[in-house]
Structure 1
């Protein structure tokens, strides 16, 4: 058994297709099939059920798949450790960013980091917070930025920013002249929410339910500036972090403080528990905490 066999088998299990896996690995399909078959012969067990239109892993295949992922992650950590020893101030950091957070804070942060560490490359993936967490756990990302709290059994967390949520309404809305409001007063309003893949969706939904009503959701969007635009046209109200409202700087919208409940919006860098941290990762975290 060698690392290539495990790598190829894991990709087949991930793609559930020899054709797609072969394309990802830049191999011919017969070569990939032969490699997986050699692994089955060596282990004396069937790993892949080839009887259907799409392949599925057998019970033994699932067990090998999980262990193979751990082995490959360990090999990646070993490579990273050796690279650090041999190339102290070079490297790469892979970061998962929800688009909302990226737009608000990270252009300046990344620009200054590049000036200080020009030999360290940054790879960015933009996803909602839920997807970011999944990819950090899977080892596909070294760092993620997420809304706290997260599962501390799975993640090491470095908090770096605290904010609170506020109600945002059109300047033409009857509530625009108010400084404070109780949540229960919003039960008859139409709301504009972030889409489900964002942590803010669940946070907003939970806040309304906590106040005793199910919100009427008129629109959903993954773009915070589009949400503020819809609010500005008086098509609904929304909850946004205060920093996001300030970033919008739009005279068409007004912020109203929520009186009866404090809704925190705290952000943190998340890392897979006990995963090796490269020199580049450590330097990026130090740089981020400067902000």
Structure 2
């Protein structure tokens, strides 16, 4: 017996993805510019086509079934590829037009991507970019499932069907107020800082998550005095004597020029990490995304840089 033919409608796939991401049918319908009634009817037809239930529904919203999780993975890949095809043909395969989605760690978003994108976009006024800060595990998962074009991470990368292109090296350092008991040290290890109060990046930053995990591995809970949203704010708090902090060397050195800070090397293997751009399939990327990867590779060719 032959299987039932399934014909996908891109509008239905977009609607399904919106509902899944919003975890709410009404909000998903709004993003798809459909009424809730029309969205419900389309969703019902999609479920009938697939002969599978895609969502569990309750008073709080909707959650994906196992079949829904499978469809979401495929739908994202299909929709991203459709966008890539549009971009390629819109610019006849050139790199001067299109849209790129990038998920990156804290340092990429705040430290070096503004400069890289500034140069890149100045030469390509018809390219648009969606740059979002994400945790490393979310970046890897999103590149794998096709919900983002590029991922930028530091440190070891689990190879889950990904291409990881190393483009520079980063370093984490300890920063203290001048006159702090640790400020005269040339090098420290992580155990040396565990009993001090720390200035940290905000919840959800890759650096914050990394240090909490590292502390747990040492059987210790890191004492957080205050959490902020930028490396400049971290350095200002450190200069004021509120606490100490671990941050990228590039940020520490830049802010040391205008603040009274001491920068101490961390004598641990994890402090020196490779910075990589992740792609699912380089050949499948639109021209503008390939050009941005080339720009990233060129930006790191001048030597080591610090990053989260």
Asked if TM exceeds 0.5, the reply is yes
CA distance in structure 2 between the partners assigned to 1:262 and 1:88 by the alignment: 36
Residues 262-287 of structure 1: per-residue CA shift (max 9 Å, x gap): 62143222223567111111111112
- 1:64 to partner: Cα distance: 4.1
- 1:70 to partner: Cα distance: 4.1
Q: Which moved more, 1:170-179 or 1:260-269?
A: 260-269
2:16: which partner in 1? Answer: 9
**3-state SS, counterpart of residue 27 of structure 1:** coil
What are the ranges of 5 or more consecutive residues in structure 1 without an aligned counterpart? none
Aligned CA-pair RMSD? 3.1
- 1:45 to partner: Cα distance: 4.8
CA distance in structure 2 between the partners assigned to 1:272 and 1:8 by the alignment: 24
Residues 45-96 of structure 1: per-residue CA shift (max 9 Å, x gap): 5444456553344555444444444443443444444445455632232223
Aligned pair count reads 291
Distance 1:73 1:227, change over 3 A: same
Q: Among 219, 224, 237, which residue is 2:231 paired with?
A: 224
TM value normalised by structure 2: 0.79
TM value normalised by structure 1: 0.83
**3-state SS, counterpart of residue 175 of structure 1:** coil
Residues 117-173 of structure 1: per-residue CA shift (max 9 Å, x gap): 344333333445454444434433212222222222243222222122222111131
CA distance in structure 2 between the partners assigned to 1:267 and 1:148 by the alignment: 6
CA distance in structure 1 between the partners assigned to 2:239 and 2:138 by the alignment: 29
Q: Among 278, 283, 286, which residue is 2:291 paired with?
A: 283
1:145: which partner in 2? Answer: 152
Mapping 1:19-34, distance limit 5 Å: 19-34=26-41
**3-state SS, counterpart of residue 290 of structure 1:** helix
Q: Among 169, 189, 193, which residue is 1:162 paired with?
A: 169
**3-state SS, counterpart of residue 61 of structure 2:** coil
Q: Which moved more, 1:202-211 or 1:3-12?
A: 202-211
Residues 189-210 of structure 1: per-residue CA shift (max 9 Å, x gap): 2222223422222433455456
Q: Among 175, 179, 192, which residue is 1:185 paired with?
A: 192
Distance 1:202 1:62, change over 3 A: closer
Distance 1:230 1:154, change over 3 A: farther
CA distance in structure 1 between the partners assigned to 2:144 and 2:262 by the alignment: 39
Q: Among 224, 230, 240, which residue is 2:247 paired with?
A: 240
Q: Among 271, 274, 283, which residue is 1:266 paired with?
A: 274
CA distance in structure 2 between the partners assigned to 1:75 and 1:108 by the alignment: 29
Q: Among 110, 114, 119, which residue is 1:107 paired with?
A: 114
**3-state SS, counterpart of residue 239 of structure 1:** strand
Q: Is the 2:77–2:146 contact (alpha carbons within 8 Å) kept by the matching residues of 1? A: no
